[in-house]
Amino acid sequence: MYPSLPSKRQDEKTPFGFYPYMDWKFWGTFAKLPCIFRNIPSMNRILIFVFLALSQILQAQDLDQIIDRYNTRSVDYASVEHLVMHRDLYIIIDTRARREFEVSHIPGAIWLGEKPDKENLAANINDKKRPILLYCSLGVRSEDYGERMQRWGYNNIKNLYGGIFAWKDAGYDVVNAHNKKTDSIHVYNRHWGKYLHTGKKVYD
């Protein structure tokens, strides 16, 4: 099975030397470069490449700093790539507000309330050993949600690193309340919205 992200930062680096968030952002961006560069002079191509590389590095570091500031890593992380490869294994729970979920969510995700409710969880998840993946905008609220679930005996929980913002920025689809693909993402507020780099930002 593809491993989820370990808890210690020094162990999070991939063979490329970047953090997992950096890898999919970095290589996803540069996979598009042959088409972009086709009609650009060679020296300009180099400058653009350097600029894009630096911008992706800064974005990745920015996310890492935010998550480290607010999270304690009490719930193990899973990367976007891990979820893509093993989505069928998980019950995916969106831990954001209902309005955020209705604007868009990861396909297949369910909403069981902005705050975890013990009885509601028991009614929807009959096996506490079942793999569960939680997400929010970036992974902060979902960690709080997961901590409470763990106290209630749900011990096979993962927290999506970078949340739905990371999912969307990696190029994966989101759907609205009618299960239709959409480019819109509710970003909670303008402060948090700066960490989403693709899609249409919704604030209300």
pLDDT in tens, 156-169: 999 999 999 999 99
In a domain, 112, yes or no: yes
**Pairing mode, if any, of strands 174-175 and 181-182?**
antiparallel
Average pLDDT over residues 180-194: 94
Whether 151 and 134 share a structural domain: yes
Confidence band, pLDDT 50/70/90 cuts, at residue 98: very high
* 5: nearest Cα among 30, 28, 23, 27: 23
Q: 66 and 81 share a domain?
A: no
Say yes or no: 167 and 97 in one domain. Answer: yes
Residue 25 in tokens: 């952002």
Rounded alpha-carbon distances, angstroms, from residue 77 to 3, 21, 40, 160 = 10, 12, 40, 6
Q: How many domains does the chain have?
A: 2
- Quick: pLDDT tens for 15-30: 333 344 444 444 454 4
**Residue 45 reports pLDDT greater than 70:** no
Is residue 102 located within the same domain as residue 66? Answer: no
Q: Return the pLDDT at 58.
A: 44
Where is pLDDT greater, at 174 or 61?
Answer: 174
Residue that finishes a domain, picked among 41, 70, 99: 70
Share of the chain above pLDDT 90, in %: 62
Q: Which of 14-18, 53-57, 72-76, 178-182 has the lowest mean pLDDT?
A: 14-18
Domain of residue 132 covers 77-202
- Same structural domain for residues 143 and 60? no
Can you give the CATH number for the domain in which 104 is found? 3.40.250.10
What is the pLDDT averaged over residues 38-59? 53
Residue 5's pLDDT is what?
40
Q: Is 179 left (phi over 0), alpha (psi -120 to 50) or beta?
A: left
Same domain, 139 and 81: yes
| CA gap 114, 142 in Å, rounded | 10
* Residues 103 and 63 reside in one and the same domain: no
On whether residue 106 sits in a domain, the answer given is yes
Q: Does the pLDDT at position 141 exceed 60? A: yes
Domain match, 49 and 124 both: no
- Residue 154 falls within a domain, yes or no? yes
Residue 114 placed within a domain = yes
CA angle 150-151-156, nearest 5°?
20
- One domain, residues 156 and 191: yes
Q: What is the pLDDT of residue 66?
A: 80
Picking from 47, 70, 93, the residue at the C-terminal end of a domain is 70
Say if residue 38 is in the same domain as residue 117: no
Question: Does this model's pTM top 0.85?
Answer: no
Q: Are 48 and 146 found together in one domain?
A: no
- Whether 108 shows a pLDDT value over 80: the answer reads yes
Q: Which of 46 and 176 is assigned the larger pLDDT?
A: 176
The conformational region for residue 178 under phi > 0 = left, psi -120 to 50 = alpha, else beta, is: alpha
pLDDT of the residue at 63: 75
pLDDT in the model for residue 43: 59
The more confident residue out of 25 and 181 is: 181
Residue 64 shares a structural domain with residue 39:
yes
| Closest listed residue to residue 96, CA positions, set 149, 40, 136, 151 | 136
